[in-house]
Structure 1
Amino acid sequence: MPRLLIVAHAPSTNTLRLREAAERGARHPDLEGVEVVVKAPLSAGPEDVLACDAILLGTTENLGYMSGALKDFFDRSYYPVLEAKQGLPCALYVRAGSDGTGTRRAVESIVTGLSWKWVQEPLILRGKWQESFADQVEELGMAMAAGLEAGVI
């Protein structure tokens, strides 16, 4: 059974709602052929990446960059997965209080180095909190899981 790994930093109530929305979408009742694993970046490591078939990343925008926790995940995982996981389907959502540009660019740079494959453009959730953010992330989680189940990603 294909495995979707969700690695998302959730330091606040709203960012936890986003991680839960990603999981809810990925575990949609119509999707029975995908295993979903959800981890905080400080709990996830290269063994999780090596065991997955796609990855959904979530981060806050911190001073125009990704969260330190997600950066730590990449620091610990980069070289151990570099050769084995080239072409890994991935997606990203960013909870950005500003514009998210620096955060997106930083994650894209690492993903490019890893030779992972973007499933879609990064989802940047800009500005003040909106209830629609959770819906968008839930749809992203569902799309990732559905793509894995169908064998198209």
Structure 2
Amino acid sequence: MTKRLLIVAHAPSPNTLKLRDAARRGACHPAIEDIEVRVKAPLEAGPEDIRSCDAILLGTTENLGYMSGALKDFFDRSYYPILEEKQGLPCALYVRAGHDGTGTRRAVESIVTGLRWHWVQAPLILRSEWREDFVGQVEELGMYLAAGLDSGIF
């Protein structure tokens, strides 16, 4: 049975677009067979997308010590409509943080706790100046989440 992985990632720059594409590439690894991957910008995603997925990967920039306004809008529109329906949803997060990412991580963790989603690993915080190895880290995160979903671990 095919399972669905939803990637909701804010990608306002060429580098964050590389991260979003890396998440998709990892999730679509050839060894992972029964996963359908959908990628949406936060302003395009909503409750129906969450209802139809079996796991979710969130990606955001750090904006003034908080998540992107677009990801916050996604949560604002989706929180109550899916609150009772998707408890236990496997999730993961990556944050492109120009500083330390602490406030962004805490804000997303607070919402995810309220939704009662299940973290499959600690949030990935990509701190400070841009490094090309961020791309590989996000690709691995996408692959890990998709492989775990495909194998029934999540």
TM range (shorter): over 0.9
Using the TM superposition, give the Cα deviation of residue 30 of structure 1 relative to its aligned residue in structure 2, in angstroms: 1.0
Instruction: Tell me the equivalent position of 1:135.
Output: 136
- Separation in structure 2 between the aligned mates of residue 112 and residue 128 of structure 1, nearest angstrom: 30
Using the TM superposition, give the Cα deviation of residue 11 of structure 1 relative to its aligned residue in structure 2, in angstroms: 0.2
Using the TM superposition, give the Cα deviation of residue 149 of structure 1 relative to its aligned residue in structure 2, in angstroms: 0.4
Using the TM superposition, give the Cα deviation of residue 32 of structure 1 relative to its aligned residue in structure 2, in angstroms: 1.3
Give runs of aligned pairs for residues 51-62 of structure 1, distance below 5 A. Answer: 51-62=52-63
Using the TM superposition, give the Cα deviation of residue 118 of structure 1 relative to its aligned residue in structure 2, in angstroms: 0.2
Q: State the secondary structure of the residue aligned to 1:90.
A: strand
Using the TM superposition, give the Cα deviation of residue 136 of structure 1 relative to its aligned residue in structure 2, in angstroms: 0.1
- Separation in structure 1 between the aligned mates of residue 114 and residue 24 of structure 2, nearest angstrom: 27
Give runs of aligned pairs for residues 21-100 of structure 1, distance below 5 A. Answer: 21-100=22-101
- Separation in structure 2 between the aligned mates of residue 89 and residue 148 of structure 1, nearest angstrom: 8
- Separation in structure 2 between the aligned mates of residue 8 and residue 87 of structure 1, nearest angstrom: 20
- TM-score in terms of structure 1 length: 0.99
- Separation in structure 1 between the aligned mates of residue 113 and residue 145 of structure 2, nearest angstrom: 19
- 1:42-78 deviations in whole A, cap 9, x for unaligned? 0000000000000000000000000000000000000
- 5+ residue gaps, structure 2, are none
CA RMSD of aligned residues (A): 0.3
Using the TM superposition, give the Cα deviation of residue 19 of structure 1 relative to its aligned residue in structure 2, in angstroms: 0.1
Instruction: Tell me the equivalent position of 1:122.
Output: 123
Paired AA for residue 122 in structure 1: P
Give runs of aligned pairs for residues 103-122 of structure 1, distance below 5 A. Answer: 103-122=104-123
- Separation in structure 1 between the aligned mates of residue 74 and residue 130 of structure 2, nearest angstrom: 26
Q: State the secondary structure of the residue aligned to 2:33.
A: coil
- 1:95-120 deviations in whole A, cap 9, x for unaligned? 00000000000000000000000000
Instruction: Tell me the equivalent position of 1:7.
Output: 8
- 5+ residue gaps, structure 1, are none
Q: How many residues align?
A: 153
- Separation in structure 1 between the aligned mates of residue 51 and residue 34 of structure 2, nearest angstrom: 19
Q: Which runs of 4+ in 1 moved over 3 A?
A: none
- TM-score in terms of structure 2 length: 0.99
